[in-house]
C-alpha cells in the first residue's frame, strides 16, 4: 500500500509541474499576442442648431433638451452641441452659406416645403425614408408631405 501511495504522490507532483508549464506557456502566449487596448476612442460631437428662442418656443426647447440629456446618457460616446440662433439669420444667411460650403450642422431645425428642395438636391440632407420605415415611425406621422421631396 505504502509504495503505491508514494508513486501516486510523485505522479501528482509531476502532473502539477506539467500543468504549471502549460499554463505559463499559454499565459505567455497571451501576453505576447497582446490583446488590443483601445479604450480611449475620442468623443464625437454632433452639432444641433435650433431657433426655439422665443417665449412660446421654450416648451419645445425644453422637450428637446430633455431628449438630448437622455440620449447622451444612453450613448456616452456622443456629445450634442445644442445651440440656438435667430431664425432669420439661421435660415436666410448662415445655413445657406454652410450649405454652399458643406459645413452645415449635423442636426438642425428647418421648415419643410420648397426651402429644403435645393438642400436635398445637393445631397446636404439625409434621406430618412428607410429609417422611418424600419423603425415603424413612418406610420405615426400624420402628414410628411412637407418633408417629402421627389428627386
Partner 1 sequence: MRLRPKFLTGMLLLVVLPVVMMGVLFYLAFSDLIEQKAATYFRLALRDADRMLAYAMNEINSVTDLAITQDAVQALLKAPPQWISNEQARELNSYIMTHPKVTSFSLYNNERLVYRTNFSSVDVSYEELVRSDAYLKAVQRNGRPLWLAPGENEWSRSRAGEIVILRKIKEFHTLRDIGTLLVTVKADLLEQVFWEASVDGEILLVNGKGQIVYSKSGLRVGEMLEPSVREALQAQGEKDYVIRPFAEESSFIAYLSTTQNEWVMMAVTPESRLFQEVKLVRNLAVAIVMFLLLTAYLFEKLFISRLVFKILKTVKGLRQVEEGRFKELTESHKSDDEADLLVRGFNRMTRQIRDLIAQVEKEQRQKKEAEMQALIAQINPHFIYNSLESINSLAVLQGNRDISRMVVSLGKLLRISISENKELIPLEMELEHVRHYMRIQKYRFEDKFEYELELPAHLKPVMTQKLIIQPIVENALYHAIEPMSGKGLIRVCVADQGRDVLIRVCDNGAGFDAETLEKLDRLPCRKKTDSGVGLANVHDRLRIRFGPRYGVLVCSAPGHGTTVQIRIPKLLEPAVERGEEA
Nearest distance from C-beta of residue 104 to partner 1, angstroms = 10
Distance CA 94, CA 103 (A): 10
Nearest distance from C-beta of residue 57 to partner 1, angstroms = 26
Q: Which member of 119, 138, 147, 149 binds partner 1 (CB under 8 A)?
A: 119
Q: Cβ(123)–Cβ(117) under 8 Å?
A: no
Distance CA 103, CA 82 (A): 16
Residues in 58-117 at the binding interface with partner 1, rule: CB under 8 A:
96-97, 99-103
Residue 135 grid coordinates: 423603425
Q: What x/- string results for residues 25 through 64 when contact with partner 1 is judged by CB under 8 A?
A: x--x--xx-x-xxx---x----------------------
Distance CA 144, CA 151 (A): 16
Q: Does 140 participate in binding partner 1 (rule CB under 8 A)? A: no
Burial class (CB in 10 A: 0-12, 13-18, 19+), 74: exposed
Residues, the chain: 151
Nearest distance from C-beta of residue 130 to partner 1, angstroms = 21
Binding site for partner 1 (CB under 8 A): 17, 21, 24-25, 28, 31-32, 34, 36-38, 42, 96-97, 99-103, 118-119, 121-124
Amino acid at each position: 500500500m505504502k509504495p503505491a501511495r508514494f508513486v501516486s504522490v510523485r505522479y501528482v507532483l509531476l502532473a502539477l509541474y506539467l500543468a504549471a508549464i502549460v499554463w505559463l506557456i499559454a499565459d505567455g502566449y497571451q501576453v505576447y499576442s497582446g490583446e488590443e487596448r483601445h479604450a480611449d476612442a475620442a468623443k464625437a460631437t454632433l452639432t444641433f442648431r435650433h431657433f426655439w428662442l422665443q417665449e412660446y418656443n421654450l416648451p419645445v426647447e425644453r422637450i428637446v433638451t430633455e431628449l438630448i440629456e437622455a440620449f447622451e446618457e444612453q450613448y456616452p460616446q456622443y456629445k450634442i452641441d445644442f445651440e440656438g440662433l435667430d431664425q432669420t439669420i439661421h435660415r436666410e444667411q448662415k445655413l445657406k452659406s454652410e450649405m454652399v460650403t458643406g459645413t452645415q450642422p449635423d442636426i438642425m431645425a428647418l421648415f419643410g416645403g420648397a426651402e429644403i428642395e435645393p438642400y436635398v438636391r445637393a445631397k446636404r440632407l439625409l434621406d430618412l425614408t428607410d429609417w422611418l420605415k424600419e423603425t415603424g415611425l413612418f406610420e405615426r406621422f400624420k402628414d410628411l408631405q412637407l418633408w417629402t421631396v421627389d428627386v
